[in-house]
Amino acid sequence: MGRSLIGLALLLSACNNDRPELAELDFSSAGLRVSLTRLATHPFLSRYRLTLRIDGPQGCSATEELFPDTGYAGRRNVYQQPSGAITVLGQYDARVFDPASCSIRLVEFQSLVGQATFLGAFDVDAQKRWRFLDASVRSERSFEKH
């Protein structure tokens, strides 16, 4: 009986949470709030649906589904372009939010060449919690392109 309870406890602790995990960047100097919600899509494997939402000035709001995290590829670096646009860059996709048109668009990685300021990254912390890690907390980590 004791072994069964221990086994059940270990099995349940290995299961992914089925509640959405919200991480936010409040970029008040630009009048923006960037949030990235992670939702497990598999009870045991590291598989997540990622939803980007950006709230801007005058009630502007845009939402976009990102390329899913299909196994430890959920991190998204966040940058501010000189134009004021926000770039959310992942291992397999790149999105740009334009505050003037209040829209998020998928862009080619090659179009991102230029001077951008790294703001931080949406990622798991040392305790495996999904959150936004400010650039002052964690330095920029590049993606390996295969």
6-31: pLDDT as tens digits: 444 444 444 566 799 999 999 988 89
The structure tokens listed for 21 are 């995990």
Q: Where are the beta strands (DSSP E) in the chain?
A: 21-27, 32-40, 48-55, 61-65, 76-80, 86-89, 94-98, 103-106, 117-124, 130-134
Q: Report the predicted TM-score, pTM, of the whole model to 2 decimal places.
A: 0.85
Residue 13's pLDDT is what? 44
- For residue 139, is it within any domain? no
- For residue 8, is it within any domain? no
- For residue 87, is it within any domain? yes
Q: How many domains does the chain have?
A: 1
pLDDT tens digits along 89-128? 999 999 999 999 999 999 988 777 678 999 999 999 999 9
Residue 24's pLDDT is what? 98
Structural domain of 44: 18-134
Distance CA 48, CA 124 (A): 13
Instruction: Walk across the sheet containing 117-124 and list its strands.
Output: 103-106, 94-98, 86-89, 76-80, 117-124, 130-134
